[in-house]
Structure 1
Amino acid sequence: MSDCVFCMPELDMDQRIVFENESCMFLQKDQPVLKGSGLIVPKAHKRTVFDLSSKEWSDTQEMLLRVKHWLDEIWRPEGYNIGYNCGEVGGQHIFHAHLHVIPRFSDEPYAGRGLRHWLKQEANRRNT
C-alpha cells in the first residue's frame, strides 16, 4: 500500500526502524509522554492481528522479546502494556496491524491502570 506509513515507514519522517527481522519491524517515534513506546508491525500489509500468518506471529514474539530486553537496558521500566487495537470501535486508527509496546513507570500519574482499567469503569457500561 503506497500510502501506508507502516508499509512504507519512510513516509513518516518522525518514525524510525529500530529493529527488524524477516517479517516484522519495531518502529519508534519520539513520544513526549511515555518514553520508549513503540510499535511492532508486520512488513506485509495486514489489516488486523487476526490476519497475521503463523510466521508473522512467531517473528512478532521474537521481536517483542528483543525489544523488551533493549527497553529494560535503556529505560528500566517497572511494567509494560502490550496490545493490539482492532477495528475502529476497538480504537484502531491506522488499518495495518500494529502491536503497541508501552513501558510503564511507577511515577507516572496513571501508573497501575492497565488494559483492564476500562472493563471496570461503570461509565463505560453498554445500554443493553
Structure 2
Amino acid sequence: MDCVFCALIQADSARWVARGPVALAFAPLTPIAPGHALVVPASHFADLFDTPPEVLAETMALVRRVADAMRSALGADGVNVLNASGPGSEQSVPHLHFHVIPRWQDDGFSTWPTGRSQRRLQDDPIARLASAVAG
C-alpha cells in the first residue's frame, strides 16, 4: 500500500486515541508535544480539496473532540490545529490529516510561521478571494 496512513489503519498498528467509521485519531511517531495527535479520515482522501464535505465535517468534529480532551485530560491551555493540503503546502503525507497539538503557555515553542511569503499577486487578493467564494 502506497499511503502510510492507509497502511497504518489497515494494519491496526497505531496508538489509537479514537476510532470511528469515518474518522480516526492516533499518536504520531514523532510527537512535538505530549499528547500530540493526528486526526484523519478512515478512507483515503489526498487532501482538503479531495475530501467530500460530509467526511470533512466528521473529521473536523473529531478534531474538536480531541481538542476538548486535550484541555480536560492534559490540562492544555489551548491547541494548534495544523493542516497542509496540496503540492505547494509542504504536505508530507498525501492523506488528509490534521495535527492537533496541545499547548501550554510555558511550553517554549511556536508553531506559527516566522517569515512572510515572497509571492506577490496583482490586484487585490482579498477582493479576488471574496469574489471566488461568493460565486
TM-score, normalised with respect to structure 2: 0.73
Instruction: Name stretches of at least 5 consecutive residues in structure 1 with no aligned partner.
Output: none
- Whichever residue aligns with residue 103 of structure 1, its letter is P
Question: Counterparts of 1:109-120 in structure 2 under 5 Å?
Answer: 109-110=108-109, 113=110, 115=112, 117-118=113-114
Of residues 67-76 and 90-99 in structure 1, the stretch that sits farther from structure 2 once superposed is 67-76
Conserved in 2, the CA contact under 8 Å of 1:48 and 1:96? yes
**CA positional deviation for 1:31:** 4.5
Equivalent residue, structure 2, for 1:58: 57
Conserved in 2, the CA contact under 8 Å of 1:28 and 1:39? yes
SS at match of 2:6: coil
Conserved in 2, the CA contact under 8 Å of 1:5 and 1:12? no
Larger Rg: 2
From the superposition, tell whether residues 46 and 30 of structure 1 become closer, same or farther in structure 2 (CA, over 3 Å).
closer
**CA positional deviation for 1:49:** 1.1
Point out the structure with the larger strand share.
1
The 1-side partners of 2:51 and 2:97 are apart by 11
Aligned-pair identity in percent equals 26
SS at match of 1:18: strand
Q: Give the aligned length.
A: 119
Conserved in 2, the CA contact under 8 Å of 1:9 and 1:16? no
Large movers: runs of 4+ above 2 Å: 10-13, 29-33
The answer to whether residue 100 in structure 2 is matched with residue 101 in structure 1 is yes
Question: Counterparts of 1:1-128 in structure 2 under 5 Å?
Answer: 2-9=1-8, 13=13, 15-29=14-28, 31=30, 33-110=32-109, 113=110, 115=112, 117-118=113-114, 121=115, 124-126=116-118
Conserved in 1, the CA contact under 8 Å of 2:47 and 2:94? yes
From the superposition, tell whether residues 127 and 32 of structure 1 become closer, same or farther in structure 2 (CA, over 3 Å).
closer
Of residues 68-77 and 43-52 in structure 1, the stretch that sits farther from structure 2 once superposed is 68-77
TM-score, normalised with respect to structure 1: 0.77
The 1-side partners of 2:85 and 2:43 are apart by 17
Task: Give me the CA root mean square deviation.
Answer: 2.4
Conserved in 1, the CA contact under 8 Å of 2:36 and 2:99? yes
Instruction: Name stretches of at least 5 consecutive residues in structure 2 with no aligned partner.
Output: 121-135
